[in-house]
Amino acid sequence: MHAASFSHVRTWVFDLDNTLYPPQMRLFDQIEVRMTAWVMAALGVARDEADRLRHHYWQSYGTTLAGLMAEHGVDPGPYLTDVHDIDVSVLSPDPALARAIRALPGRRIVYTNGCAPYALRVIEARGLADTFDAVYGVEHADFRPKPEQAAFQTVFAADGLNPAEAAMFEDDPRNLAAPHAMGMRTVHVAPVAARAEHIHHHTADLAGFLAPLGM
Which residue type is seen at 97? L
Q: What gap in Å lies between CA 79 and CA 29, rounded to an integer?
A: 16
Third-level CATH fold of 2-21+91-213: Rossmann fold (3.40.50)
pLDDT at 130: 92
pLDDT at 91: 96
Domain 2-21+91-213 shares a fold with domain 27-83: no
Q: What gap in Å lies between CA 114 and CA 138, rounded to an integer?
A: 6
User: Is the separation of the CB atoms in 190 and 22 below 8 Å?
Assistant: no
For the stretch 57-69, pLDDT in tens is 989 998 999 999 9
Q: What is the DSSP letter of 169?
A: E
pLDDT at 93: 97
pLDDT at 103: 97
Low-confidence residues of the chain, pLDDT below 70? 1
Q: What gap in Å lies between CA 174 and CA 44, rounded to an integer?
A: 31
* Torsion from C-alpha of 4, 133, 200, 215, nearest 10 degrees: 20
Q: What is the DSSP letter of 70?
A: H
Q: What gap in Å lies between CA 72 and CA 193, rounded to an integer?
A: 35
3-state SS class at 29: helix
Question: Could you tell me the residue ranges of all domains in the chain?
Answer: 2-21+91-213, 27-83
3-state SS class at 203: strand
pLDDT at 62: 87
Third-level CATH fold of 27-83: DNA polymerase; domain 1 (1.10.150)
Which residue type is seen at 21? Y
Which residue type is seen at 46? A
For the stretch 106-151, pLDDT in tens is 999 999 999 999 999 999 999 999 999 999 999 999 999 999 999 9
Could you list the beta-strand ranges (E) of 36-141: 107-111, 134-136
